[in-house]
């Protein structure tokens, strides 16, 4: 049998060789491209750096990291997100305990809107701490919770000396979220705080943050000297009575004042907010909740309003005029009557109801004082022995 060998034509052989060479070239190019891509995504190509610049390239990136390398910056963003969520959760819990307050006052035979403020729920059955100046003189108190529910409230008691008042929601059998009272002693300047309140009387539960800017600041407000916390958190009208929370969510102050405008030298005042330290407020709150007033304070027993009256060489000067006299009070025992105008205490002029209150609070229980009073066209002097208040 004859063996035959199949021979490939020369032309076909050449074509095969060219195809194989082309495929090999393509594969080589792809490998080189992938290799270069991997190298540029990870580290700078040291071999491409100019001579003598190796150290510079190694220590300093020449551009912002590629977005394709870590488009969402997972490591850093994840850590920051956790910190932000912790902060957001704490603020959310704090906001549930802060309320907005509107008050009305009696004008003639009608009740008219008289102002707005803030407050903080401190017990689950609806006791709220706020500022005295928010609710003082109110005929009706309306409270709005963070969840949108509305209540009327009763004034339990107030203390002009510390500017603290306690009110209670008119609600029975309901439970409310309440703040955790913290400790203001030991606070350090620089600690983060959150102020929450009814900014401008319309922006309920506005949150601002800042730091503790100062401790034990002696501030005079309406003639009354107070020792307050200072904060850089933005404080606006309507924030009074609201909360100053520490970064851990505990209540460490009751916001009561802000300073704005310019000084006598023309300097602009910015970022000065103040709050009653919670350690100072706690015993006041306890006394008011227990007795309806603060124990150990000198008590005169009158309510007054400001009037302009001509007295001596000073015409139409403002003085406090007695509106009511509490039965059995030191004032009643001394013979003070409604419509009496109190012009002096121990020979010193008293220019307003606030000045009268501040002056009385400067004495002690048991002190004997002399009131100079205008009654009709007569000037009389009455001796009053100040006592501790015994009832609401």
Distance CA 180, CA 254 (A): 13
| pLDDT mean over 49-77 | 37
**Token pair in block for residue 114:** 């008289």
pLDDT tens track for 92-112: 999 999 999 999 998 888 889
HEC profile of 93-113: HHHCCEEEEEEEEEECCEEEE
Catalytic residue among 240, 329, 352, 353: 240
Catalytic residue among 118, 133, 159, 287: 133
Say what the pLDDT of residue 118 is: 95
| pLDDT mean over 155-179 | 93
CA distances in angstroms from 108 to 105, 111, 112, 384, listed in the order given:
10, 8, 10, 33
Residue 32 has pLDDT above 50, yes or no: no
Say what the pLDDT of residue 27 is: 52
Given pLDDT bands bounded at 50, 70 and 90, which one contains residue 265? Answer: low
**Between 42 and 76, where is the model more confident?**
76
Do residues 341 and 378 make contact, with C-beta atoms less than 8 angstroms apart? no
247 flagged as catalytic: no
**Between 142 and 265, where is the model more confident?**
142
Distance CA 86, CA 80 (A): 10
Helix/strand/coil for 267: coil
Say what the pLDDT of residue 310 is: 66
Do residues 90 and 248 make contact, with C-beta atoms less than 8 angstroms apart? yes
pLDDT tens track for 116-164: 999 999 999 999 999 999 998 899 999 999 999 999 999 999 998 899 9
Instruction: Find, among 144, 179, 186, the residue nearest to 255 by Cα.
Output: 179
**Token pair in block for residue 197:** 């309140």
pLDDT > 90: what percent of the chain? 53
Domain extent listing, the chain: 192-274, 298-388
- Residues 6 or more apart from 346 whose CB is under 8 A from it? 369, 370
What CATH number should be reported for the domain whose range is 192-274? Answer: 2.40.10.10
248 flagged as catalytic: no
Helix/strand/coil for 355: helix
pLDDT tens track for 319-335: 999 999 999 999 999 99
Least confident of 36-50, 146-160, 199-213: 36-50
Domains 192-274 and 298-388 share a fold: no
**Token pair in block for residue 14:** 């050449």
| pLDDT mean over 362-374 | 95
Catalytic residue among 102, 163, 287, 340: 163
Which CATH superfamily includes the segment(s) 298-388?
Answer: PDZ domain (2.30.42.10)
Say what the pLDDT of residue 101 is: 96
Residue 57 has pLDDT above 50, yes or no: no
pLDDT > 70: what percent of the chain? 73
Given pLDDT bands bounded at 50, 70 and 90, which one contains residue 26? Answer: low
Distance CA 131, CA 164 (A): 5
Distance CA 290, CA 156 (A): 9
**Between 58 and 246, where is the model more confident?**
246
Residue 72 has pLDDT above 80, yes or no: no
Strand segments, DSSP code E, in the chain are 98-107, 110-121, 127-131, 140-144, 150-159, 164-169, 192-199, 203-221, 224-231, 243-246, 251-262, 268-277, 298-299, 302-311, 314-325, 341-345, 348-349, 368-375, 378-385, 387-388
118 flagged as catalytic: no
Say what the pLDDT of residue 308 is: 82
**Between 288 and 67, where is the model more confident?**
288
Residue 73 has pLDDT above 50, yes or no: no
Distance CA 195, CA 233 (A): 6
Find the Cα–Cα–Cα–Cα dihedral 140, 143, 144, 149, rounded to 10°. Answer: -90
Instruction: Find, among 330, 264, 268, the residue nearest to 302 by Cα.
Output: 330
């Amino acid at each position: 049998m004859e063996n035959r060998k199949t021979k490939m034509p020369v032309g076909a052989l050449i074509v095969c060789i060219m195809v194989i060479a082309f495929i090999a070239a393509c594969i080589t190019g792809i490998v080189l491209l992938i290799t270069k891509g991997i190298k540029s995504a990870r580290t700078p190509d040291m071999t491409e750096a100019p001579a003598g610049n190796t150290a510079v390239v190694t220590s300093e990136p020449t551009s912002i990291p590629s977005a394709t390398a870590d488009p969402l910056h997972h490591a850093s963003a994840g850590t920051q997100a956790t910190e932000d969520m912790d902060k957001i959760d704490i603020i959310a819990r704090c906001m549930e305990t802060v309320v907005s307050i509107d008050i009305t006052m009696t004008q003639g035979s009608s009740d008219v809107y008289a102002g707005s403020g803030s407050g903080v729920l401190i017990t689950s059955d609806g006791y709220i701490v706020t500022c005295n100046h928010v609710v003082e003189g109110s005929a009706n108190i309306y409270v709005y919770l963070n969840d949108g529910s509305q209540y009327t409230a009763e004034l339990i008691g107030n203390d002009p000396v510390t500017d603290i008042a306690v009110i209670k929601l008119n609600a029975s059998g309901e439970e409310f979220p309440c703040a955790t009272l913290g400790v203001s002693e030991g606070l350090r300047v620089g600690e983060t705080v959150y102020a929450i309140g009814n900014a401008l009387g319309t922006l309920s539960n506005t949150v601002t943050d800042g730091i503790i800017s100062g401790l034990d600041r002696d501030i005079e407000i309406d003639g009354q000297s107070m020792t307050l916390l200072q904060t850089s958190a933005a404080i606006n009208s309507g924030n009074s009575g609201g909360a100053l929370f520490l970064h851990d969510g505990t209540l460490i102050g009751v916001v009561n004042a802000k300073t704005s405008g310019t000084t006598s030298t023309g300097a602009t005042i910015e970022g000065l907010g103040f709050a009653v330290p919670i350690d100072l407020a706690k015993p006041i709150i306890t006394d008011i909740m227990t007795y309806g007033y603060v124990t150990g304070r000198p008590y005169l027993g009158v309510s007054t309003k400001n009037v302009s009256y001509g007295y001596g060489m000073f015409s139409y000067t403002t003085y406090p005029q007695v509106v009511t006299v509490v039965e059995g009070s030191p004032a009643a025992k001394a013979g003070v009557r409604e419509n009496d105008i109190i012009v002096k205490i121990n020979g010193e002029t008293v220019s307003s109801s606030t000045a009268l209150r501040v002056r009385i609070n400067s004495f002690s229980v048991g002190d004997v004082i002399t009131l100079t009073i205008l009654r009709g066209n007569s000037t009389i002097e009455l001796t009053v022995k100040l006592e501790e208040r015994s009832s609401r």
